[in-house]
Amino acid sequence: MGLGPFARIPRRGLLRGGAMLAGMAFGVERSAAGGRGGDDASAAGHDMAGRHGRNRVVGTVDADRNGFDPMDFLTEFDTGIITTEPDGRQVREWTITAVDREVEIAPGVFFPAWTYNGRIPGPTLRCTEGERLRIRFLNAGSHPHTMHFHGIHSARMDGVPGAGEIRPGEAFTYEFAAEPFGCHLYHCHSIPLKRHIHKGLYGAFIVDPDPDRHPLAREDAASRRLGTPQNASWQELVMVMNGFDTNFDDENEFYAVNTIPFAYFDRPIRIDRSRPIRIYLINITEFDPINSLHVHANFFDYYDHGTTLTPTHRRIDTVMQCQAQRGIVELSFANHEPGLYMFHAHQTEFAELGWMSHFEVV
Amino acid sequence: MVRFVWLALPLLILAAIVAYVLGARPLDRIGAAAPPVEQVVVEGTRLRPGVIELGIRADGSQPIVIAQVQVDRAYRAFDIKPAGPVGRLDGARVTIPYPWIGGEAHHVVLVTSTGATFEHTVEVAQATPELDAGSLWQLAVIGLLLGVAPVATGMLAFPAMRGLSAGTFDFLLALTVGLLAYLFLDTLGEGLEAGSASLERLRGQTAVWVAAALTALGLFVAGRWRGAAPQGAALAGFIALGIGLHNLGEGLAVGGALSAGAGALATFLVVGFIIHNVTEGIGIAAPLVRATPPLSLFVLLAGLAGLPAVAGVWAGTQAPSPYWLALCFGVGAGAIFQVMVEVTALTVRKSGFVALGGLNYAGGVAAGLLVMYATALLV
């Protein structure tokens, strides 16, 4: 408190012994100032005013101006274009451009972001294990950038300074096989790394298992692979847990899944309870050691990194991930009554700073 | 006519320079990509049951939008009045429904549209006293105990002071100067601190000095309106006025402590100030020793010196803006400075400049400073 008369208040500690004196001397502070404090206040402040209990951001983000909508992002899979080489080999290709862009990361809050293709997270790249992948990367930004994929590739394709880092105006083509199958990510690996990541350069990279390679678990693999009849019954959602440090003090002001705080709170994600849910969950939160997902009133199977076809955790309702850790969550609301079911980070701080959401089970 | 041209020319050139800087924007080339500069200060906090209210003031290179508000690291619904961006040096009121907890600390963060954050801590949450008739009276009692009672008590020493020798009288006047010097430093310090809490561009600390200088000048001129320096009852009146303005500050401190939930501290402050202020009564009465003042004069002087404390307590509970506090303290410091000069002038007129170097005078000033400092330790 900078105020002159308030400056004496820190001496409070010294005055604990004076409390008795206070009680007998005047009792004025009770009648004049107190008596309307704590208890009444809590009752009044807890007046719910909607299901958020007034824990919310004010206003809405203009998705049109941003050019991306967190609701669409959940189910948008960019499978690229399949081209055939002169030698007859098939290659899956994407073109990704790094651009500087001001993004409205919370209602009325504009962040000077660095993005892949103008959005945060970048496009969700999806392919099948064993495929040849080619990512043509252009840098239209103002700093050097890379695309570093979490996967198996050669040193030359690692997307780090000295191997695939490009300056503004340059281009680079990453080429490798899609391995291993799982729920992965890509991000910029230029230095300073922390800044390049939290400015927005990251995205999901999903490699579906090829059922032909898993004869003993063919059905499980097929259910994972986009486009199969087995996969069609699943409700698949991509959730990238992220945060934004808007004042650059190395601490996040906003937390979310898929960038926009509370995005799925007021606009819940609609779930058809007759169909199972698969969440591709990725943690790219900067500064904080871990992030987590907790689903209300339900338990799920979890496949750490998505690199197995049998769960690595069974029947859990909370899972934590360190930065860049990711996994696949499979759950069902088949036996639940319809209604709103919360899911959020179970670091309650993150939840109240934006990472708070609802499923609307119908 | 020629003179008029020479007067107009500088004005025209000045206008041309301003037009160039604003129109051609030569500075933009230097800071072209710089984000806007933003500054927000919280000038006052009011707590009602279930509601935190902040009075804010903004400054910066463009109007500031308060986009989101956190309380204790959680985003909260809030309302800002007037709605929309807050212009340069404009104020606004941010109302946040929040189940604050009595006696505990709460941290508020204002997030602007650029993502900049401005933090404010409510050290000890307690409902801001509503100024209804009942609480006004109770707060007034505190003010009276704080200001009028000790000053009047100090004046009771007046009969004892009358029989004193000339040397002792000079010592008493010097003691008054020392006492005033202490109050001057204290008031100025409070003012500078409040000034530093206000928006940078309001130059709060400079405002304290300017207010002090203007007040001292004004009172100096007013005191010598009839050509002669004030003495006797008039000088006592000026001393009472200066001390009264200082006591306004003490009232603000007590009121501020009450509204900040430091009830025990407020009690301690009052006890301390009472002991501290008894000495002030002696100082006010000192110039009257050679006269035979009526009782009503003492009542008037005690009121002048003590009643501002009542106004101070009232105002203090309402968390006034630090800028106005700074001005207030500046005025107080100026008034005290003026009486220091006048009381010293009285000594000089009586005994010449040599007296200022004498042990009697120096000892009196030192004793005044020490007594005030020692009793201030009780606060």
DSSP structure string for A294-336: EETT--EEEEETT--SS-SEEEESEEEEETT-EEEEEE--TTS
Q: Does B25 map to a domain?
A: no
Residue A39 at interface with chain B, using a CB cutoff of 8 Å: yes
Q: Are residues B91 and B215 in the same domain?
A: no
Burial of B103-123, coded b for 16+ CB within 10 Å and e otherwise, reads eeebebbbbbbbbbbbebebb
Q: State the count of interchain CB pairs (< 8 A) between A and B.
A: 239
* pLDDT, position A194: 95
Q: Are residues B71 and B44 in the same domain?
A: yes
Who has greater pLDDT, B168 or B99?
A: B99
Q: Does B19 map to a domain?
A: no
* B50-64, B161-175, B291-305, range with the lowest pLDDT: B161-175
CB A184 within 8 A of CB A304: no
Q: Are residues B215 and B364 in the same domain?
A: yes
* pLDDT, position B254: 80
State the pLDDT confidence band at B291, using cuts at 50, 70 and 90.
confident
* pLDDT, position B33: 54
CB A207 within 8 A of CB A127: yes
pTM to 2 decimal places: 0.80
- Record the tokens describing residue A29, joined without a space: 């502070």
* pLDDT, position A45: 44
CB A124 within 8 A of CB A203: yes
Q: Are residues B65 and B93 in the same domain?
A: yes
Residue A41 at interface with chain B, using a CB cutoff of 8 Å: yes
Q: Does B16 map to a domain?
A: no
* pLDDT, position B68: 97
* pLDDT, position B263: 61
The predicted-structure confidence for B191-205, as pLDDT tens digits, reads as follows: 899 898 888 888 989
Architecture field, domain A63-361: Sandwich (2.60)
CB A147 within 8 A of CB A94: no
Q: Which residue of A has its CA nearest to B143?
A: A28
Among B122, B152, B178, residue at a domain's last position: B122
Q: Are residues B175 and B117 in the same domain?
A: no
Burial of A193-229, coded b for 16+ CB within 10 Å and e otherwise, reads eebbbbbbbbbbbbbbbbbeebeebeeebbbbbeeee
d(CA A117, nearest CA chain B) in Å: 22
* pLDDT, position A3: 37
How far apart are the C-alpha atoms of B201 and A147, rounded to whole Å?
46
Residue A2 at interface with chain B, using a CB cutoff of 8 Å: yes
Among B89, B122, B155, residue at a domain's last position: B122
Q: Are residues B113 and B177 in the same domain?
A: no
Q: Are residues B243 and B267 in the same domain?
A: yes
Enumerate the β-bridge partners of residue A174: A135
Mean pLDDT, rounded, for B247-262: 76
* pLDDT, position B32: 54
With CA atoms as reference, report the closest residue to B197 among B82, B71, B51, B320: B320
> How many beta carbons lie within 10 A of that of residue A310, not counting itself?
9
Q: Which residues of A touch B114 (CB under 8 A)?
A: 109-110, 246
Residue B95 at interface with chain A, using a CB cutoff of 8 Å: no
Give the residue numbers spanning the domain of B169: 133-376
Verify whether the Cβ–Cβ distance A56 to B77 is below 8 Å: yes
Q: Does B178 map to a domain?
A: yes
d(CA A271, nearest CA chain B) in Å: 27
Q: Which residue of B has its CA nearest to A42?
A: B99
CB A358 within 8 A of CB A340: yes
Tell me if residue B71 falls in helix, strand or coil.
strand
Residue A42 at interface with chain B, using a CB cutoff of 8 Å: yes
**Structural domain tally of chain B?**
2
d(CA A333, nearest CA chain B) in Å: 30
Q: Which residue of A has its CA nearest to B116?
A: A247
The predicted-structure confidence for B202-218, as pLDDT tens digits, reads as follows: 898 999 999 999 999 99
Q: Are residues B106 and B157 in the same domain?
A: no
Q: Does B11 map to a domain?
A: no
CB A329 within 8 A of CB A183: no
Q: Are residues B94 and B221 in the same domain?
A: no
Ordered per-residue pLDDT tens for chain A, 362 residues: 333 333 333 333 333 333 333 333 333 333 333 333 333 444 444 445 567 778 899 999 999 999 999 999 999 999 999 999 999 899 999 999 999 999 999 999 999 999 999 999 999 999 999 999 999 999 999 999 999 999 999 999 999 999 999 999 999 999 999 999 999 999 999 999 999 999 999 999 999 999 999 999 999 999 999 999 999 999 999 999 999 999 999 999 999 999 999 999 989 999 999 999 999 999 999 999 999 999 999 999 999 999 999 999 999 999 999 999 999 999 999 999 999 999 999 999 999 999 999 999 99
Q: Does B7 map to a domain?
A: no
The predicted-structure confidence for B143-174, as pLDDT tens digits, reads as follows: 998 889 989 998 888 888 887 787 887 888 88
d(CA A329, nearest CA chain B) in Å: 27
* pLDDT, position A6: 36
CA atoms within 13 A on the CB side of A334: 11
User: Per-domain residue ranges for chain A?
Assistant: 63-361
Q: Are residues B117 and B168 in the same domain?
A: no
Mean pLDDT, rounded, for B299-327: 88
Tell whether the model's pLDDT for residue B345 goes beyond 50: yes
Q: Are residues B89 and B238 in the same domain?
A: no
Mean pLDDT, rounded, for B349-363: 85
Residue A104 at interface with chain B, using a CB cutoff of 8 Å: no
Q: Does B18 map to a domain?
A: no
With CA atoms as reference, report the closest residue to A355 among A248, A219, A264, A284: A264
In chain A, what are the helix, strand and coil shares in percent, each to the nearest 5? 20, 35, 40
Residue A24 at interface with chain B, using a CB cutoff of 8 Å: no
Q: Are residues B118 and B137 in the same domain?
A: no
Please, what is the average pLDDT of chain B?
86
Among B122, B141, B158, residue at a domain's last position: B122
Triad A326, A136, A146: Cα angle to 5° = 55
User: Is residue A229 left, alpha or beta, with left meaning phi > 0 and alpha meaning psi from -120 to 50?
Assistant: alpha
How far apart are the C-alpha atoms of B270 and B143, rounded to whole Å?
9
Verify whether the Cβ–Cβ distance A246 to B197 is below 8 Å: no
- Record the tokens describing residue A283, joined without a space: 């943690």
Q: Which residues contact A126 (CB under 8 A, 6 or more apart)?
A: A77, A78, A79, A206, A207, A208, A226
> How many beta carbons lie within 10 A of that of residue A234, not counting itself?
16
CB A294 within 8 A of CB A344: yes
Q: Which of residues 320-349 of A touch B (CB under 8 A)?
A: 349
Q: Which of residues 348-377 of B touch A (CB under 8 A)?
A: none
